Amino acid sequence: MSCVNAWFKYFSLAVLVSVLSGCGDLTDDLNPSSNDKRETVVAGTTGYMPGQLAADFSISTSVADTFQLSDRLAAGSEPADVVVLYFTMWCPICLAHSDHIYNVVMPQFAGRGSVVYGLVDYVSGSVSAARASEQANGYVGSDFVTLVDDQRALMGQFNGAMGTVVVIDANGTILMNEDYRNGATLMNILEQQLL
């Protein structure tokens, strides 16, 4: 029996070595750099990358209102200086980030221009479920607008994922599209936009 176990261990090791040898250079993931490897952005084009224009969108809120991006831009009916979208799954990491936005970022920029803060709920699946998630997590009555991305259209439009923050200026230009991390990039952008 021990002969079979030894053979199985050697066979498993051989399979592992052959699989890993076919993976190519693994050092790229182990040595991150600050170099942006995304394609160069052409100014004035529509897309999801910083420097591009955000395509207009219309989506339901958790209270069954319609939120349309163009209404929040400079020429819209409810213009804002900046629109901030935070993609949430209502998980502990997302809640830590949205709490940081709510308790640190929002107060720091209160009274300095107009900012629309949107929580993009792409997991609840319906207006009522998004409202229940919003309520369960203490955001009913907050300055967040919960956007119900039940078809994951915004997720696709902005190449979003859990914890992604997208910042759009009054002209529709995307200023930021990246993971939240510690909020420093968001605060720097708001500092520049809200003079």
Residue 184 placed within a domain: yes
Residue 15 placed within a domain: no
Residue 186 placed within a domain: yes
Residue 27 placed within a domain: no
Q: What is the pTM of this model?
A: 0.81
Into how many domains does the chain fold? 1
The answer to whether 181 and 79 are in contact (CB under 8 A) is no
Residue 112 placed within a domain: yes
The answer to whether 74 and 144 are in contact (CB under 8 A) is no
Query: What is the tens place of the pLDDT at every residue in 161-187?
Result: 999 999 999 999 999 999 999 999 999
Q: What is the mean pLDDT of residues 92-107?
A: 97
What pLDDT does residue 3 have? 62
Residue 49 placed within a domain: no
What pLDDT does residue 40 have? 83
Question: What is the C-alpha to C-alpha distance for residues 52 and 85, in angstroms, rounded to an integer?
Answer: 16
The answer to whether 148 and 126 are in contact (CB under 8 A) is yes
In eight-state DSSP terms, residue 56 is: P
Q: Which residue has the tokens 């020429």?
A: 75
What pLDDT does residue 2 have? 63
Query: What is the tens place of the pLDDT at every residue in 64-91?
Result: 999 999 999 999 999 999 999 999 999 9
Residue 48 placed within a domain: no
Question: What is the C-alpha to C-alpha distance for residues 151 and 133, in angstroms, rounded to an integer?
Answer: 17
Residue 138 placed within a domain: yes
Q: What CATH number does residue 158 fall under?
A: 3.40.30.10
> Could you tell me the residue range of the domain that residue 132 belongs to?
58-193
